[in-house]
């Protein structure tokens, strides 16, 4: 049965490789939801929730603490550590909110993961390692922190992902 989201119908998400794996191994569809606290990522979480309910899928949450190459040359070690601590705290807060959002709707996320590295690479690596069937990301992130931008990170994920990618955009 197709899912319904705010009056817009979309067909069931099908990945032929995962269908064969699911039929032979009895494994549920796995959705990786990238969390960054942005409105677009929040919309992605809403869409992932609807798909998870419709498909009976497992939900995995991932927040990536970005690494900025060359930042050591521009700020002091103390400022770098402070920035990393702030980004880590915010990622954990965002993950907690996402976990609460899914749990309130009866979906228990399978994992809450905080990576540290290049955002697109971490998301694609997680999708490959855990054999995800769908990646859900926001089209844009939180601006100056450089999290998601369709011109960069989202496009890289789309190009390198081992599965389908749903790019969400808030209104």
Domain layout of the chain by residue ranges: 23-168
Instruction: Please state, in angstroms and rounded to a whole number, the distance separating the CA atoms of residues 56 and 54.
Output: 6
Confidence of residue 153 (pLDDT cuts 50, 70, 90): confident
**In this model, does residue 47 exceed pLDDT 90?**
yes
**In this model, does residue 125 exceed pLDDT 90?**
yes
Assigned architecture for domain 23-168: 3-Layer(aba) Sandwich (3.40)
Which of 21-25, 111-115, 150-154 has the highest mean predicted lDDT (pLDDT)?
111-115
Reported as type and span, the H/E element at residue 25 is helix 16-25
The answer to whether the beta carbons of residues 45 and 101 sit under 8 Å apart is yes
**In this model, does residue 66 exceed pLDDT 90?**
no
To the question of pTM greater than 0.95 for the whole model, the response is no
CA angle 84, 92, 47 (to 5 degrees): 125
Structural tokens at position 80: 């770098």
**From the CA atom positions of the chain, what is the Rg in Å?**
16
**In this model, does residue 2 exceed pLDDT 80?**
no
């Amino acid at each position: 049965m197709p899912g319904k989201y705010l009056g817009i119908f979309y067909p069931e998400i099908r990945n032929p490789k995962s269908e064969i794996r699911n039929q032979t191994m009895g494994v549920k569809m796995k959705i990786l939801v990238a969390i960054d606290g942005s409105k677009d990522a929040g919309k992605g979480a809403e869409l992932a929730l609807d798909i998870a309910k419709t498909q009976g899928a497992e939900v995995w949450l991932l927040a990536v603490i970005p690494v900025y190459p060359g930042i050591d040359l521009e700020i002091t070690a103390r400022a770098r550590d402070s920035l990393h601590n702030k980004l880590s705290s915010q990622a954990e807060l965002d993950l907690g909110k996402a976990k609460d959002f899914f749990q309130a709707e009866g979906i228990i996320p399978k994992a809450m993961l905080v990576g540290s590295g290049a955002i697109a690479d971490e998301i694609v690596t997680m999708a490959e390692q855990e054999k995800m069937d769908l990646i859900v990301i926001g089209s844009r992130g939180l601006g100056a922190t450089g999290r998601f931008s369709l011109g960069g990170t989202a496009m890289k994920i789309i190009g390198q992902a081992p599965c389908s990618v749903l790019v969400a955009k808030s209104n």
